[in-house]
Amino acid sequence: MNRRKFLASAAAGTAVASTLAAPALAQAHPEIKWRLASSYPKSLDTIYNGAEQIARRVADLTENKFQIQSFGAGEIVPGLQTMQAVRDGTIEMTCTSPYYYIGVDPTFAFGSVMPFGLNTRMQLAWMWQGGGNELLNEFYAKHNIYGLPAGNTGCQMGGWFRKEIKTVEDVKGVKIRIGGYAGRVFQKLGGVPQQIAGGDIYPALEKGTIDAAEWVGPYDDEKLGFNKVAPYYYYPGWWEGNSMVGALMNIEKWKALPKLYQDAITTACAETCNWMMAKYDVLNPAALRRLVASGTQLRPFPPAVLDAFFKATNEVNSEIAATNEPFKKLLEHHNNFRSEGYLWWQVAEYSMDTYNIRTRAQQKG
């Protein structure tokens, strides 16, 4: 073949291929824009910024064809109503704590954490590899939602109190801001739970509308200024041995996405789980030191108080499971995973942690 004719023919073929391929590519990977309303205020640069992390990574992974615009609590949807907005199609997506919606159904709590439940690694293992996310999405589908793990704060603190908690009797009558399922446990022991969005907690505590409040941990609590209005800081947050953030999406919008875009969200959410936990592990120790140096009184919950809360938790679980089949199904699955998980944790992780804590104390002494 004449070389000049060959090159001309090849160029023409390339032009035709490009003309045909471009529309096909555009059709397979269209430009899509979503709105994500977070349940957290923008001032909390870790738990809120998980939404920003997801948006950035999705844009990167789709060459900016799929863009997610994130909004803080209250900007377009009140912080405690984002799930309903996703369900109803007002927005496509939220980053939230699913246990905020136990008033709709207590089963939502499993999308965050159960009192005396799993630690962070176990929660993610249960969700990613243990079948938890599949079971949750069976439940979410009834609410027109698809969900993925999208962050974790790790084990939280037990909250800020105006007075000391020395006995179970001291819990009675305490008006406490507490998120999700644990409020029902406090109520069982005579406490008065209040569910208040993060940005509204400080004024309620300052004015005495509430007597106590829990949020996340030292870094975020310091930012919100709780140490200025309540002296006693309790641990551990028995209701949140971890606290998983959920990326909840309108199920029809999710199903309509090209697979590449679904994979991008899944990848971005998984990366954000690791990013958020790592950031909190770096920021919390220094924040706790600052809080104690400024006069915060650090207190452990007394063992008898923890025992009472544990007993009350099991009672609440049994009461709900007796009338709520989705809750019962997830509870049994979750508790079986917890039993196996802590058996292994005791042999390996806990024994190593205990040794390191003991030797650190000896070295300081």
Kind and range of the H or E element at 138? helix 132-141
The pLDDT of residue 3 is above 80:
no
**C-alpha to C-alpha distance for 233 and 163, rounded to whole angstroms:** 10
* pLDDT value at residue 26: 54
Tell which phi-psi region holds residue 116, choosing left (phi > 0), alpha (psi between -120 and 50) or beta: left
**C-alpha to C-alpha distance for 213 and 175, rounded to whole angstroms:** 8
What is the rounded average pLDDT for all residues in the chain? 92
What is the percent of the chain where pLDDT is above 90? 87
Selection from 180, 206, 208, 207 nearest residue 193 by Cα: 180
Q: Dump pLDDT digits (tens) for 57-107.
A: 999 999 999 999 999 999 999 999 999 999 999 999 999 999 999 999 999
Q: Which three-class secondary structure state does DSSP give residue 306? A: helix
* pLDDT value at residue 22: 44
The pLDDT of residue 333 is above 70:
yes
Selection from 89, 6, 27, 45 nearest residue 260 by Cα: 27
**C-alpha to C-alpha distance for 242 and 219, rounded to whole angstroms:** 16
* pLDDT value at residue 365: 60
The pLDDT of residue 203 is above 70:
yes
**C-alpha to C-alpha distance for 230 and 95, rounded to whole angstroms:** 29
How many angstroms separate the Cα of 18 from the Cα of each of 21, 24, 187, 211? 5, 10, 66, 68
* pLDDT value at residue 1: 44
Tell which phi-psi region holds residue 258, choosing left (phi > 0), alpha (psi between -120 and 50) or beta: beta
**C-alpha to C-alpha distance for 256 and 93, rounded to whole angstroms:** 14
